[in-house]
Amino acid sequence: MNDVLATDEDGLIRLQKLLAQSGVASRRKCEELMLAGEVEVDGEVVTRLGTKVDPRVAVIRVSGQRLPPISDHVYLVLNKPRGVVSTMSDPEGRRTLTDVLQEVRPSADSSERLFHVGRLDTDTSGLLLLTNDGDFAHKMAHPSYEVDKTYVAEVDGEVTKHTSETLLGGVELDDGPVAVTRVRIIAATRQKSIVELVIHEGRNRIVRRLLAQVGHPVRKLTRTELGPVDLGQLKSGQLRDLTLDELGALLDSVRM
């Protein structure tokens, strides 16, 4: 978050003021939440009004929900259009994420130096995070944190219950086994099917290779969710900020 807060000379701010300025509730309501034991700082319940915290590093929860620290970092959700390469520049002159950003944020500060969190294939559309927070991007992309990724795929042929069970049980690929954590058949005919898959793997073209391996080459692929973040009504090429709840949940998922 990039809000500017009035802190004291030690960089501290009263907790109820921080909560109010972060959009949790009015100052009075935030005080009521503190008195009711609904606010934690670094794992400890804080009920004393006037308690000061460092908004840059304090881990704050309100009714169990993480409140992200105040920083100059930017966290964005992009619905990447199909045909856009997941890079900020391209020597071959293909349409890049920078091109999309310039279309939707023409007046943005060029010094932000945004970069993508992970990547999507050029011919895959959907949810992609953009940020200038290097630590966050690195942890989100690290396989040890296993953040769930949800895809909707249109494939050749009829996906059956047996195929779903195979996907859940695990499939051997050239670079090792892979299994989905959830699969849902949205529609199925002899000619084509639409399926939703949840997977935490991040290997190159993993969903396409997985579905091809079980006999259903992908016609069209969209990532619809990443952990607690979903596309919702965000149209292709559109951009929005992560909400406080989304960012807080993602920070928790990568233990930041």
* Per-residue confidence in pLDDT tens, the chain, 256 aa: 444 456 666 788 899 988 888 778 888 999 999 999 999 999 999 999 989 998 888 889 899 888 877 777 889 999 999 999 999 889 999 999 999 998 887 766 554 688 899 889 999 999 999 998 888 888 888 777 778 999 999 999 999 999 999 999 999 999 999 999 999 999 999 999 999 999 988 888 999 999 999 999 999 999 999 999 999 999 999 999 998 889 888 988 887 6
pLDDT of residue 252: 84
The whole-model pTM stands at 0.78
Catalytic residue among 8, 54, 121, 174: 121
The neighbour count for residue 216, using CB atoms within 10 Å, is 22
DSSP state of 60: E
- Picking from 132, 152, 250, 133, the residue whose alpha carbon sits closest to that of residue 242 is 250
CB 177 within 8 A of CB 170: yes
Q: Annotated catalytic, 174?
A: no
The neighbour count for residue 113, using CB atoms within 10 Å, is 11
In a 10 Å sphere around its CB, with 0-12 CB exposed, 13-18 middle and 19+ buried, how is residue 203 labelled? Answer: middle
Q: Where are the beta strands (DSSP E) in 5-148?
A: 13-14, 39-41, 44-45, 52-53, 60-62, 65-67, 75-80, 115-117, 124-131
What is the distance of C-alpha 120 from the center of its chain? 13
Instruction: State how beta strands 149-156 and 124-131 pair.
Output: unpaired
Domains of the chain, CATH where assigned: 13-67 (3.10.290.10), 75-144+232-253 (3.30.70.580), 148-226 (3.30.70.1560)
The neighbour count for residue 89, using CB atoms within 10 Å, is 11
Alpha helices in the chain (DSSP H): 15-21, 27-35, 97-104, 134-141, 161-169, 206-213, 244-253
- Please state, in angstroms and rounded to a whole number, the distance separating the CA atoms of residues 47 and 35: 5
CB 171 within 8 A of CB 178: yes
Per DSSP, the three-state class of 35 is: helix
Instruction: State how beta strands 75-80 and 176-178 pair.
Output: unpaired
Contacts for 226-232: CB closer than 8 Å, 24+ residues apart = 226/127, 226/129, 226/147, 226/148, 226/149, 226/150, 227/147, 227/148, 227/253, 228/253, 229/77, 229/127, 229/129, 230/127, 230/150, 231/77, 231/79, 231/126, 231/127
CB 196 within 8 A of CB 148: no
- Please state, in angstroms and rounded to a whole number, the distance separating the CA atoms of residues 230 and 214: 27
Query: Half-sphere exposure (CA, 13 Å, Cβ side) for 92?
Result: 6
pLDDT of residue 6: 60
pLDDT of residue 194: 98
